[in-house]
């Protein structure tokens, strides 16, 4: 089961990379890192030290994505200055 989950994360990483190559949206980079770190974590044994490290790095990538998805930033760029 773990290999299946790792394969799903690797496939998600590849799809995200292909999308990034097409649109060059910087918000896709932390998402790709998230998928990659979780794929690396799932490929290791449950008690392996690096598994926890990869999971923490995946969480950090997810947290890095949050400010990039802030809608207020997009609204500020779209509204003309007064």
Count of domains observed in the chain: 1
In a domain, 78, yes or no: no
- Token code pair at residue 41: 């974590």
Residue 14, phi then psi, degrees to nearest 5: -65, -45
In a domain, 81, yes or no: no
Per-residue pLDDT of 20-57, as tens digits, reads 999 999 999 999 999 999 999 999 998 999 999 999 99
Please indicate, yes or no, whether the overall pTM of this predicted structure exceeds 0.75.
yes
Question: Which residues span the domain enclosing 6?
Answer: 2-69
Alpha-carbon span 36 to 31, nearest angstrom: 9
pLDDT reading at 5 higher than 80: yes
In a domain, 74, yes or no: no
- Token code pair at residue 75: 């609204």
- Token code pair at residue 56: 């923490």
- Token code pair at residue 66: 């949050």
């Amino acid at each position: 089961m773990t290999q299946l989950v790792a394969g799903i994360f690797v496939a998600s990483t590849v799809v995200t990379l292909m999308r990034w190559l097409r649109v060059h949206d910087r918000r896709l980079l932390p998402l790709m890192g998230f998928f990659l770190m979780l794929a690396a974590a799932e490929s290791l044994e449950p008690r392996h030290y690096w598994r926890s490290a990869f999971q923490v790095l995946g969480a950090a990538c997810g947290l890095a994505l949050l400010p990039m998805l802030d809608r207020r930033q997009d609204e500020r760029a779209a509204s003309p200055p007064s």
